[in-house]
Structure 1
């Protein structure tokens, strides 16, 4: 046993383990990757896009926190048998105060939560106004907003996510980057198409999904794009149609941005990549 241990120590001293996490081993690994070309260049977004992204993120954080407080208020009052019910944002505070009237302790707690919610809503409104001002003075955002279902938030998020449209070889390459294309699992004779990959920018993917849902369910004006999505919905279901529409919206938005053309409501003069 002693001889075996001695042999191991001698071997370790002669040839140190390459699996150890050291700066020297990291440098050797990076050099090897560079030598065999196992790396990809990473796009660094422009300062303008980074600032817009920060605005979108801060706006979303405030919105989510305000909604979380509203949900917590619902849950706290439900424990006392007080049901808020369906109520709009404007009448929310009035409804809560009406429910806790006569409960001194609950009133004190709810007033703190309501004041916090009001502060979050006010600050959210300031950031949202800043977002609207940016899109109002941005020609690309105004161009993208000619697409039905695409509003200021989606347009600004798309421009800050894509940053430079020329970095994509074609418009169809935008879908995979945003995780809106199906995953292919292939082994031998087996070939299965799964769900979308969900890689890339989660915020942009969510906004495109919401825009597609709006176009499919709320937009009344008919277009070739809505007709295309309706056919998919009849054949494969509403959810798959919304995902497919979200992917196509990304392709169309990129093509419009690259060409500088407005959305075509009919298939006349429709870009080939769309």
Structure 2
């Protein structure tokens, strides 16, 4: 007889439910949320599991990898589909959620989620830490600006390099205010130093990776975008076509159709938020800062004339996602013209 298991994962404990092929509950228990403990519980010889399902979440990659190494047919399932299925239950508890996931495994009513390789997970962690340090440093800078503005001291337009010198110039002669601001400057300086260290690591990682090198031949795409794209897509072969990448990243419009009503809304924004934002920035860079003309820029400029600059940026971001996937899959480089030959490179604006 075939058996199916559903795992409702939380930080400390995981509710496990095992059902047979007829849907009868065979065993339930709460187990410590660790791959070894879960594997030990599921390793009873009487169970011959067809599928073991767990919802995508913070611990899902770690638990999935541990269960897969232990030989279990683990499947990581999409969160939105799981929530929609479990809403049919009147009472939401960990036990009921585990039961619902087990039944989803039994009737094959789920959408699997790709679990990234360890390399992509580490790259994603690096990019997340870099963005976090940058965001905290900018937040402190904005707080300092607001604090000084209360005393009539205006920082004005100043870059990150000269920011501290400008602040010290403003608070000179105001010892009480300097005593408050200097600790903030020290914290901001430390954040900037650590950000520069991680930023260098990201750019070095992209420089030595052959896939990122090919992706960076696309105008507007630099080491940050290329590494984020490689970490998010992970395995390009998991997409049937390059056009599917735009939908996965939430860059395709929402369709709301019912009877005679047929409305096309904004982009779904259901995919990876970090990569989507970086693709927007790459599209903006291509439109405004890359001086060299290309067929891609000409296409985007025509879209901007017809539909406006904002829609052109979204459309260009979606097309960049498709082009990057095709370059990765075909192991080719970007062609600046429609012809088969590639022109000589010219000096460009800095890219992300």
TM over 0.5: yes
Match of 2:285 in 1: 214
1:255 correspondence with 2:326:
yes
Within 2, Cα distance between the matches of 1:161 and 1:169? 16
| 1:123-162 CA distance string (max 9 Å, x none) | 0010011111111110000000000000000000000000
Shift of the 24–121 alpha-carbon distance from structure 1 to 2, 3 Å rule, reads: closer
Match of 1:150 in 2: 221
Q: What is the correspondence of 1:77-88 to structure 2 with a 5 Å cutoff? A: 77-88=148-159
State the 1:23 CA deviation.
6.0
Name the structure with the higher strand share.
2
Match of 1:74 in 2: 145
1:110 correspondence with 2:181:
yes
Match of 1:35 in 2: 106
Match of 1:139 in 2: 210
Match of 2:193 in 1: 122
State the 1:48 CA deviation.
0.3
- RMSD, aligned CA: 1.5
Match of 1:232 in 2: 303
Greater displacement, 164-173 / 20-29: 20-29
Shift of the 30–94 alpha-carbon distance from structure 1 to 2, 3 Å rule, reads: closer
Match of 2:135 in 1: 64
- The alignment's TM-score, normalised by the length of structure 1, stands at 0.89
Name the structure with the higher helix share.
1
Q: What is the correspondence of 1:3-14 to structure 2 with a 5 Å cutoff? A: none
Within 2, Cα distance between the matches of 1:222 and 1:266? 9
Within 2, Cα distance between the matches of 1:69 and 1:28? 47
Greater displacement, 222-231 / 110-119: 110-119
| 1:31-53 CA distance string (max 9 Å, x none) | 43233321122211000000000
1:177 correspondence with 2:251:
no
1:149 is paired with a residue whose SS is: coil
1:170 is paired with a residue whose SS is: coil
Shift of the 21–91 alpha-carbon distance from structure 1 to 2, 3 Å rule, reads: closer
Segments of 5+ residues of structure 2 without an aligned counterpart are 1-88, 342-352
- The alignment's TM-score, normalised by the length of structure 2, stands at 0.70
Aligned residues: 253
Segments of 5+ residues of structure 1 without an aligned counterpart are 1-17
| 1:167-197 CA distance string (max 9 Å, x none) | 0000000001000000011111111111000
- Bigger radius of gyration among the two: 1
| 1:73-107 CA distance string (max 9 Å, x none) | 10000000110101111211111111111111111
Within 1, Cα distance between the matches of 2:110 and 2:140? 45
1:98 correspondence with 2:169:
yes
Shift of the 31–66 alpha-carbon distance from structure 1 to 2, 3 Å rule, reads: closer
Shift of the 19–90 alpha-carbon distance from structure 1 to 2, 3 Å rule, reads: closer
Within 1, Cα distance between the matches of 2:94 and 2:217? 53
Q: What is the correspondence of 1:156-195 to structure 2 with a 5 Å cutoff? A: 156-195=227-266
